[in-house]
Structure 1
Amino acid sequence: MREIILDTETTGFEPSEGHRVIEVAAIEVVNLLPTGRFYHAIIDPQRDVPPEASRIHGFTRADLEGKPLFAAQMDAMLAFLGDSPIVAHNAPFDFKHLDAELVRAGRPPLDATRMVDSLALARERFPGAPNSLDALCRRFEIDLSERTTHNALLDVRLLSQVYLELRGGRQLGLTLGAAPFASAALVQATEAAAPRTPRPMRVPEERAAAHAAFLDKLKDPLWNRL
């Protein structure tokens, strides 16, 4: 199954307040494993970048000025996304910003049914626990040493590892207890398996002769009573 792991960086929280997308990163995973294909774009938001946002992702207005506009990169992004499910951490945030950019460019918003929110999955699995991307990486012992800022391309690579663990880890379908993501194909294959026919063990003649010679040396060996 093809899925897209996606992350955005923005100038602020609310597109309704004029905040814009400044970075989009996405990687392709098939059967939960990255294929190596990715999409990455840095975007000129045509506005200032507040200092509090810069402290999070590291981008300043000077870094973005002169980069391509969202509309110029939109077709390449949509082609990469295709019609696959889109996985993001706090996905409603990313969707509302991308939708605002798409509508501004005269395109329809993304289909909300494609949204897979890894934050919601984490909260369901670890209720009451910290479930930020950093916290989940630490819980699953995923290396965070490169994450000094919220770089979207690094974040999707980390999220792909977190998502794999949230969906059952590296032994998907073999988890103990309740397994909400167990493979239906695995279950069907197990149920349809025919009973095995026992195969008798055949002992070579020379091994049987050696065993008989050994028994002749013993007093009332147990094997002769069988």
Structure 2
Amino acid sequence: MSWLDETMVGFDTETTGVSTAHDRIVTAAILTRTGGETTTRTWLIDPGVEIPARATEVHGITTEHAREHGVQPSTALDEIAAILAAAMGAGFPLVAFNAQFDLSILESELARHGLPSLASRLPGGEVAPVVDPLVLDRHLDRYRRGPRKLINMCEHYGVAVVADDLHAADADVAATLDLLPAMAARHRALGTVELADLQGQQVEAHRVWATEFASWLRSKGRTDDLPRPEWPVCV
């Protein structure tokens, strides 16, 4: 039986911005899918800082709404890390689209609030197993032109989504979990590789992509916000 037929745990965040070191998590979702059954856990967090209007345009959460209805970060972050660590510790893959961002900002937030890191909660301190459809798609279909945002990849692999629903953490996770079997139907090797081997392949695939893309950006005179080669976490 393929790991695609076993339990998978999807994870996504919506944040105050795109810096994993300095921005904060505003919402998070964890979906646990076993066969045809899915359980969902979501969090609305008061990040303790102003939510920029640009971020609100993406996910719809205002500073006022988060302050009134959100939970304290330390409570939510500890719950999130505990659930993810328990899942990965049991051998279930954590599935996240652009996992490097979500896992890195989670680790930064845990450190900011004096909580144990996700890595420290796992055997050997390794955040694994992780499955990232973005990393896999860049590797398996390297020369395909066009953007590779979640909506683009759902369209490419024939996954039905409601575009207006995306950028809500739970909708993004559901779409990401639906995306994996669609990718595996086109790239058969995905379903046969062992998770431990897939982890190593993604680490190398991301390193190659990040190194080559950073080199291209530098050739164009762009030196800010270069992609980091570490995966699935860089802190």
| TM-score using structure 2 length | 0.66
Q: Is the 8 A contact 1:89 1:133 kept in 2?
A: yes
Identity in percent: 26
Match in the other structure for 2:224: none
C-alpha change, 1:102 and 1:181, in structure 2 (3 Å) is: same
Partner of 1:139 in structure 2? 156
Kept in 2, the 8 Å contact 1:8–1:25? The answer is yes
SS in structure 2 opposite 1:64? helix
Matches within 5 A, 1:195-206: none
Q: CA deviation at 1:182?
A: 4.1
Aligned pair partner of 1:27 in 16, 31, 49: 31
CA pair 83-157 structure 1, distance change in 2 beyond 3 A: closer
Q: Which residue of 2 aligns with 1:202?
A: none
Gaps of 5+ in 2: 1-5, 120-126, 195-235
1:143 alignment partner AA: A
Distance in 2 separating the partners of 1:137 and 1:182: 18
Distance 1:99 1:161 in 2: 26
The residue aligned with 2:212 is none
Q: CA RMSD for the aligned pairs?
A: 2.3
Q: Do 2:74 and 2:115's aligned partners in 1 also have CA atoms closer than 8 Å?
A: no
- Find 1:92's aligned residue among 93, 100, 111: 100
Using the size of structure 1 for normalisation, the TM-score is 0.68
Post-superposition shift, 1:108?
2.9
1:53-202 equivalence runs, <5 A: 53-66=55-68, 67-81=70-84, 82-84=86-88, 85-111=93-119, 112-127=127-142, 128-129=144-145, 130-145=147-162, 147-166=164-183, 168-169=184-185, 179-183=188-192
| Cα separation, 1, equivalents of 2:100 and 2:134 | 10
The aligned amino acid for 2:178 is: Q
TM-superposed CA distance for 1:42, in Å, is 0.7
Q: 1:184 to 1:103 in 2, by over 3 A?
A: closer
Q: Which has the higher helix share?
A: 2
Alpha-carbon deviation of 1:98? Answer: 0.5
Higher relative contact order (CA 8 A, sep 6+): 2
Structure 1 segments unaligned to the other structure (5+ residues) = 170-174, 186-226
Q: 2: distance between equivalents of 1:2 and 1:11?
A: 31
Partners of 1:26 and 1:39 within 8 A in 2 = yes
